[in-house]
Structure 1
Amino acid sequence: MRVEWSSFEKRGRTWLAIDWVETGAPPHGRVMRRGFGSDLIEGKIPYELGGTGSISIEPVGARCHLEFPLKEGESILETDAPSPTIVCGGTLDMTGAPDLTGRNVLVVEDDYYIAGDTAAALRGAGAKVLGPCPSEDATLDLLETATPTHAVLDLNLGGGEPRFEIAHALKERGVPFNFLTGYDPDAVPEDLACVVRLQKPVTFRNIVEAVAQL
């Protein structure tokens, strides 16, 4: 096994590149199956870190390449942010849930699996999903070209303290939304105190029901 890393400049920022190569495995045919590890490298890491990831399983071993921008951030041990919830992806049965047909629901959530499952639940109830968006910048960029009818908004994007720029942008546009968060009510400013908080961990059916009530 060989792991190498290097930094480089891209779009005015410092990025980190990691190459992981494993060799010496018994010869075998090309692996076509895509599992949790592939989804982690090619889905979760690019989504949450804003970079790219690729993995290939060759007859003689495995090769993985990752690159993403470096940024300063607080450790979760240094903040009062709630511990992350572990969610497994899969098919979500929304039989009997409220019908969200005709609603364009924006999903803002930086956890790849929670975002994917939230989107799947909303689609299962008939909604069209905008996003999901993992960051404030990605969300504000999307709002320049798309207008949601409703939204589900995580408050802790990328760690640190809760941020409310997206909430205020949605409020200015007249878009009703719910907070999806582990923070206590006193973390929410007074002008947004009327927004319904869905306390993590929350079931995806409850998210659909809350959107239906907006």
Structure 2
Amino acid sequence: MHVGTGREWTGDRVPLRRRRWCGEQYDLQGDEWMTSEVTSSVLILDDEVIVALDLAQTVEDAGFAVSGPFHAAAPALEAIEHAPPRAAILDVNLGGQNTSRDVAIRLSDMDVPFIFLTGYDVSGSEVLESFPAVERVSKPVDMAGLIDWVQRTMIR
């Protein structure tokens, strides 16, 4: 089964019936791509496929809709403009010189709360230095703590 990456799923974990990658939703029952507009969702931006899919499944298992997950800032920004999320989980480093800074700026401009996933200290990242008041979750991710943040944020 392909999940938008061209790679076959070989994990021992059974994926959700529907899984999204890069803003498209893949229906595992058929081989059709479909999109959905969800405005009360949690946007997920992480360049690591397994991490992103695990985050998405964990958020959905907690009862929340997911926008994404997205692997790069550009498709995440498009999704934000199309259907703004209620909250967002952003990986700071998106591979190479790419970061989630532009997404964080846009979400901040829209007053959408977000949290950073990172292995960096504040002093080691321009993105974190730009948003010192934003909460961070260190990698490896404490999923229980992250879901607690999502719950607190979505209830506001």
TM-score by length of 1: 0.52
Give me the CA root mean square deviation: 2.5
Question: Residue 93 of structure 2 is aligned with which of 147, 150, 156?
Answer: 156
- Name the SS for the 1:151 alignment partner: strand
Secondary structure of the equivalent of 1:213? helix
Aligned to 2:135: 196
Which of these residues, 55, 65, 86, is aligned with residue 128 of structure 1?
65
CA distance in 1, matches of 2:98, 2:142: 24
Alignment correspondent of 1:208: 147
What are the ranges of 5 or more consecutive residues in structure 1 without an aligned counterpart? 1-38, 47-52, 56-87, 93-101
Structure 2 portions without partners, runs of 5+: 16-38
Once the two structures are superposed, what CA deviation does each residue of 1:116-165 show, in whole Å capped at 9, x if it has no partner?
11111111111010011110111111112111000000011123364411
Q: Which residue of 2 aligns with 1:116?
A: 53
Higher helix share: 2
Which one-letter code corresponds to 2:102 in the other structure? E
Greater share of strand = 1
Question: Structure 1 vs Structure 2: percent identity of aligned residues?
Answer: 33
Mapping for residues 1-214 of structure 1, pairs under 5 Å: 42-43=2-3, 46=5, 53=6, 90=13, 103-160=40-97, 162-186=99-123, 187=125, 188-214=127-153
Partner Cα separation in structure 1 for residue 53 and residue 72 of structure 2: 14
Partner secondary structure for residue 131 of structure 1: strand
Give the partner amino acid of 1:43: V
Q: Which structure has the larger Rg over C-alpha atoms?
A: 1
